[in-house]
Amino acid sequence: MGTMNISLPDPMKSWVEEQAKSGRYANSSDYVRDLIRRDRDRREAIAEIQSAVDVGLASGPAVPLDRSTFKSRMRAKYAGE
């Protein structure tokens, strides 16, 4: 495992130390690793949503939903399950 030294303002350092002392984290490093994991997960989720938006925009203009056709297609799709 690699090592990294970071500088924090005193209030942030105190916050990190408090989180570690709360019992939820084993130490300050554990807390920082959790923050990084959460940030990575958040960024991946945003990228996935943005990708879906891009696909939707590329699909062309929206058309009104015909409920009866939609329901018929859904019934046919799930009838065999």
Report yes or no on 47 lying in a domain: yes
Vertex 52 angle, CA 49 and 53, to 5°: 90
Report yes or no on 3 lying in a domain: no
Supply the range of the domain harboring residue 20.
Answer: 10-60
Distance CA 12, CA 56 (A): 41
Percent of the chain with pLDDT over 70: 98
Report yes or no on 66 lying in a domain: no
Report yes or no on 68 lying in a domain: no
Report yes or no on 78 lying in a domain: no
Report yes or no on 5 lying in a domain: no
Report yes or no on 22 lying in a domain: yes
Does the structure show a pLDDT above 90 at 80? no
| 3 state DSSP class of 34 | helix
How many structural domains is the chain composed of?
Answer: 1
- The pTM of this model reads 0.70
Yes or no: say if 51 and 61 are a contact pair by the CB < 8 Å rule. no
Does the structure show a pLDDT above 70 at 81? no
